[in-house]
Chains A and B, each alone.
Chain A
């Protein structure tokens, strides 16, 4: 009864569409999905500047609301569809409970998560999209009638290809993201796990998935079950195998890549359902992730294939690193640093993953505030691969209320180091390593880096001299005449500098 009441207002709108076929007969329904897709485009468009981004996010929510309401209106069985009424166990009520459950979990996580944990949160969210795609693909396989996929009494061949691809991409996204999440959150070691003959295994598995998809598409309806089961299992396996050999430093690329996959999974499902909103979204998200992966690879001067092949950081540095003698370096104290920062006219701060780990962003902003009050110009320089995901450092600085006008990208600020009195490196390492410019044998050769060696004075906050960056290479900046090493936890050191400045 309750279900009937809830459904009643929708009855009028629902009648022209057939709930029994996934395809919307009503042109208004198709239009609604198109509008929803357009809102998603506007959501991304809004991100072109922080000023318009909040409106953009709202557009995204509106688009989602339109898509969900349209689907509910056209597909929830109402009283006039008698063939469903009798056997209907679930209706709008159960669906709303499922949505509410997801909403509570989602909003709770979104409120509580620390900004430093954003990379693993995004990875976890990717895995959910992937798993949802697998579930939808399977649901469509089990109940093709509801999705309008029946040609005669079996599923159409094209639909089966789309379904197979959707399930495969979804499963890869899921298991890949689970591994990425485990590595990013420290539940699993960030170092690459290299299986013998992994390339052969991976390529073989991928080929098997493609063959299975083809077999699945061509098989008669009675023989499809074992094929789709095998397809799903292999896809879960390959997602796992693809990510375990990739090291922690390459996670920004992996997270972007999985972002892209989750889009392609949505697009494949959109093809299956003939749904415009899903196809547009899938294409948007797919290209978004692909572009981000490209930007990350370019910022490391590595090819996408070499990142995906994995193993980076596992054996690098093992060659010459050990033999190197202890080189002399200067160590300073917080008081030394405070004194010189006060005297400076221009300070450029380079944050890296170490700042995130130490949660030093708030202390850093406090330090910058004091310096600005004393008339020092403070700018922040951010490398595209700083942190564990694209834009990670920007979010942390924004969290510490650093105005975004003071934060600059690599290519915009690199020429300014020559005029800077102090380059203040906090938790970054490889992105300031001059070996990337000079040493052809270095694993990071060719990577664009900050020209900190041009600054008059360099402060390098680092926990100890022992650790090296992710690339596992020594950094000449440590030993330069104008470099002063500040060996301590980033947050403690900055707090001490703040005290010394007062």
Chain B
């Protein structure tokens, strides 16, 4: 992809982010931080590419370490978000 197409996606995504995040209810700001944490670990894609390529051992090891770190975040982030969200209950009394 050329730089301008990538930049277009980025700029538009910033706008999407702006509106989507403003619509998040303040009560869920902590889960918002936890889940953004988890999804920003999509950086694992880069680590996977590095770890999958075999020609430069140094890059491969960095990649594998990156995978471990990003996985901690992905699984930890989604799990802790799920745990928090499960606690938000409606009134169940009469």
Contact = CB atoms under 8 A, between A and B. Distances in A.
Contact of A89 (B60, B67, B79): B60
B72 A128 contact: yes
Contact of B77 (A106, A131, A284): A106
Nearest to A104: B75
B89 A288 contact: no
Contacts of A19: 52-53
Interface in B68-89: 68-89
Interface string B12-55: 01101110111111111111111111111111111111111111
A136 B46 contact: yes
Contact of A389 (B33, B42, B60): B33
A285 B32 CA distance: 9
Contacts of A106: 71-77, 79
Contacts of A469: none
* Majority-rule SS of B interface residues: helix
A287 B17 contact: yes
A485 B6 CA distance: 59
Given A75-B52, A94-B51, A125-B77, A398 B84 contact: yes
Contacts of B79: 106-107, 110-111
Interface in A265-280: 265-267, 269-280
A43 interface: yes
B32 A47 contact: yes
B55 A41 contact: no
A37 interface: yes
Contact of A101 (B24, B71, B91): B71
B90 A404 contact: yes
A41 B46 contact: no
Interface in A24-83: 30, 36-37, 40-41, 43-45, 47-51, 53-54, 56-57, 60-61, 63-64, 67-68, 71-72, 75-77
Nearest to A81: B54
A64 B20 contact: no
A273 B48 CA distance: 12
A71 B54 CA distance: 15
Contact of B39 (A40, A146, A272, A394): A40
Interface stretch (A197-205, A307-315, A405-413, A434-442): A405-413
Given A279-B13, A291-B18, A404-B88, A147 B49 contact: yes
A269 B46 contact: yes
B13 to A, nearest CB: 3
B35 A95 contact: no
Given A44-B36, A136-B50, A405-B90, A102 B72 contact: yes
Interface in A69-126: 71-72, 75-77, 84, 87-91, 94-95, 98-103, 105-107, 109-111, 113, 115, 118, 121-122, 125-126
Given A102-B75, A132-B69, A142-B59, A391 B42 contact: no
Interface of B: 1, 3, 6, 9-10, 13-14, 16-18, 20-60, 62-92
A-B residue pairs, 6 tightest by C-beta:
A102-B71, A391-B29, A106-B76, A146-B53, A287-B17, A139-B50
17 contacts: A23-B1, A47-B25, A54-B85, A64-B42, A90-B51, A99-B68, A102-B69, A102-B75, A109-B72, A111-B79, A259-B33, A270-B10, A282-B40, A284-B13, A390-B30, A401-B87, A403-B91
